Structure 1
Amino acid sequence: MVHHTIDGEATTARRLRFGIVLLPNFTLTAFSGFVDLLRLASDEGDMSRPVRCSWTIVGENLVPVRASCGIQITPWTTFDEAQAFDYVVIVGGLLHSGPPASDATLAFIRAMAETPATLVGLCTGAFALARAGVMNGYRICVSWFHYWDFVERFPQVDERDLVADRLFVIDRRRITCSGGRASIDVAAAILLRHVEATIVRKALRILLVDDAQKGNAPQPHPPGLEPATHPKVRRAILLMEQHVGEPLSLPDLADRLDVSVRQLERLFTTETGKSPGAFARQIRIRMASWLLTSSDRTVADIASSCGFSDASHLGREFRKEFGASPNEYRATRLPNTHEALLGTPEPGARLPDEYVEAPVRQLGTP
């Protein structure tokens, strides 16, 4: 019998059983990375036999499921005929294209939650777990890219349970991850509960992965932010972006990162040359400048959305940063956004990343 443990103790009493549910427009990277690590750790040599663990693609029916890249995978069995599993993995993908998880899929997730199985949400699979109502009281990891999508769709979820600054979260019999390469890290974390660490490390090396990341590792640095290598600073920046409308106080930010206020200030100064407050202000100003030139929202509305007390407050900060009022900034940049502020660039000149990449990040555009 497989024992589900939190402290990572391994047991190899019998083969681990994984049931994998592919949602419409699932992300192929998340699926393939997870399964390939299972495959490599399951057998010796290059045989790919399901010796240590087995995996089954389960679906509402046997109709092929289309990945976001267009590749289609046919389920091996249906929900009604599925056997017992130790882990049930829900692989999500695109949120705004195609149908969501079906009622039958949500019913299957609820049924699996009543068994000893551990539920795993890869990429936006966490959205399906939340829709199924099986994440109440559990922490939920989502990508920073989909943080506001989750907040909008599930306003009842306690914001303190939502984690968007880490690669994945293991909370008892629930595992959720941000997607992409992090699915390999999740597979490694699961396997390390049950098989020898040397086997898992060997499988990672075959995939050319130096080592599996731990769940508290920060998600990749979003484009448009100044470089920072210390994981605490990177996580702090992600949290600042996620709370741009209602900025976290410095003590709250330090508490979430499990560091002292003084230590956080010291880390920020070393990594970015700015205090946490100055860096957060830069993020809010950048968001406001983008909204001014990409929407017809009022200055007062933008000020409120970006964490400023009112339009006057935003105006004062804007003059400090750009030497112009928000309305002047909008008027001069609308005809040619970059040239109006930066001047006409030399032929072949490259615009600074903070003006090119940051707006795309903030609006959540791929």
Structure 2
Amino acid sequence: MRNNRAMSAFSGDGRHRVAVLALDHVVGLDLGTSPQVLGSARDLDGRRYYQVRVCTPGGRPVRSAAGFSVLPDNGLELLEAADTVIVPGIHNGPALLDGVLDSEIAEALSRAHGRGARIVSICTGAFVLAAAGLLDDRPAATHWAHADRFARLFPAVKLDADVLFVDDGEILTSAGVAAGIDLCLHLIRRDHGAEVANRAARRCVVPPWRDGGQAQYTERPVPSPSNAGTARTRVWAMDHLGEPLTLDRMAAHARMSVRTFTRHFRDETGLSPAQWLLQHRTDRARELLESSDLSVARIARDTGFGSAAALRQRFHQALGVSPLAYRRTFAPR
């Protein structure tokens, strides 16, 4: 039975309840991301879809990595009533340095997961989830700068250091800092569809999604302005997704050799041209499934997949559902 004190922290109006667990050395931006982004998800009458509350172990103040203290209104009992639990990143502490976690915190997270709460981490919050044993044999993301340490401490986790976030169903993890915004927008899109997520993104003055993964943000030599040049071709390709877009055709549009174009494209986006096209064709198909009554076959042609069978295969691979099931879930009723 859920703790009455925890239940009282959330109003009983049916909104999705989110508990943000702040630990010592919490990253300030990570802590503020979910209240800000999820709080921007509203219906057309301005009603919020989420209730977001912050808690700490014992309800005690914790010191942030930015030098200020967090004075919470709730303790770990808040996790007992939450539909989603979010763990922001940390810049120090035993979970990050040694891969261990206070048993009280680990048990609270495990209980929340065990009763069906969705568990989310931002940035190095993945260290906390991994130390609690929640990421074993699962794919996960964390900040690229901490990826080597994460892999050493948690070899049972299938770390992907190149993506902005990983959605593994009831457990989701993001890369560093601003990738938490991407993940929160993904949560909104998953819960309420692209239209609500896009409105939230506009309210936060951020893009609804970003191209590529965090590989594009790792430390590498910055190309000189004279070497840049695939942006114009990417804009052009977005307007021609339904057409055959071969590597030769894209390189010709950019007035580069295929080899040079491919190298600069990956430097600028973190993806190969083929991966980038597949991602954007999938996103366009999702938009059309949500916002139109076009047939699956027509959407497949208009987005460059060619056939309904190819689109179904892609949706099952990327999203785990068919296009029609996706439409039933996310199309306005």
Q: TM-score range by the shorter chain?
A: 0.5 to 0.7
Change (3 A) 1:268 1:16: farther
The one of 205, 213, 217 aligned to 2:213? 217
Distance across 2 between alignment mates of 1:79 and 1:192? 28
Letter in 2 for 1:95: N
Change (3 A) 1:269 1:117: same
TM-score, structure 2 normalization: 0.59
Distance across 1 between alignment mates of 2:167 and 2:197? 18
**Structure 1 unaligned runs (5+)?**
1-12, 232-259, 261-265, 277-366
Change (3 A) 1:128 1:195: same
**1:270 correspondence with 2:261:** yes
Letter in 2 for 1:162: L
Residue 129 of structure 2 aligns with which residue?
129
Q: Is the 8 A contact 1:24 1:101 kept in 2?
A: no
Letter in 1 for 2:208: D
Residue 49 of structure 2 aligns with which residue?
52
**1:187 correspondence with 2:170:** no
Q: CA deviation at 1:37?
A: 0.9
Change (3 A) 1:267 1:157: farther
Letter in 2 for 1:120: V
Distance across 2 between alignment mates of 1:132 and 1:79? 15
Distance across 2 between alignment mates of 1:110 and 1:171? 16
Matching of residues 1-366 of structure 1 within 5 Å: 14-42=14-42, 51-80=48-77, 82-95=79-92, 101-154=101-154, 156-157=155-156, 161-213=158-210, 217-227=213-223, 269-272=260-263
Distance across 1 between alignment mates of 2:217 and 2:136? 29
Letter in 2 for 1:56: R
Distance across 1 between alignment mates of 2:148 and 2:230? 25
Q: C-alpha offsets along residues 37-96 of structure 1, whole Å, 9 cap, x if unaligned? A: 111114668x8x7x3110121221122111110122122212236542221111122136
May I ask how many residue pairs the two structures share in their alignment?
A: 225
**Structure 2 unaligned runs (5+)?**
1-12, 232-246, 248-256, 268-333
Letter in 1 for 2:176: G
Q: Is the 8 A contact 2:84 2:118 kept in 1?
A: yes
Q: Is the 8 A contact 1:89 1:119 kept in 2?
A: yes
* RMSD of aligned Cα (Å): 3.4
Q: Is the 8 A contact 1:141 1:178 kept in 2?
A: yes
Give the secondary structure class of the aligned counterpart of 2:119: strand
Q: Is the 8 A contact 1:20 1:55 kept in 2?
A: yes
Change (3 A) 1:18 1:166: same
Give the secondary structure class of the aligned counterpart of 2:191: coil
Give the secondary structure class of the aligned counterpart of 1:149: helix
Change (3 A) 1:141 1:268: farther
Change (3 A) 1:190 1:267: farther
Q: CA deviation at 1:226?
A: 4.9
Q: Is the 8 A contact 1:18 1:87 kept in 2?
A: yes
Q: CA deviation at 1:198?
A: 2.4
Q: Is the 8 A contact 1:18 1:86 kept in 2?
A: yes
Q: CA deviation at 1:32?
A: 1.4
Q: CA deviation at 1:206?
A: 2.1
Change (3 A) 1:230 1:96: farther
More moved, 122-131 vs 217-226: 217-226
Q: C-alpha offsets along residues 177-208 of structure 1, whole Å, 9 cap, x if unaligned? A: 11211111111111112224323212211222
Q: CA deviation at 1:163?
A: 0.4
Q: CA deviation at 1:229?
A: 8.2
Change (3 A) 1:52 1:164: same
Distance across 2 between alignment mates of 1:230 and 1:108? 48
Change (3 A) 1:64 1:44: farther
Residue 245 of structure 1 aligns with which residue?
none
Letter in 1 for 2:119: L
More moved, 188-197 vs 90-99: 90-99
Give the secondary structure class of the aligned counterpart of 1:212: coil
TM-score, structure 1 normalization: 0.54
Change (3 A) 1:267 1:30: farther
Distance across 2 between alignment mates of 1:109 and 1:230? 44
Q: Is the 8 A contact 2:123 2:143 kept in 1?
A: yes
Letter in 1 for 2:184: A
Residue 9 of structure 1 aligns with which residue?
none
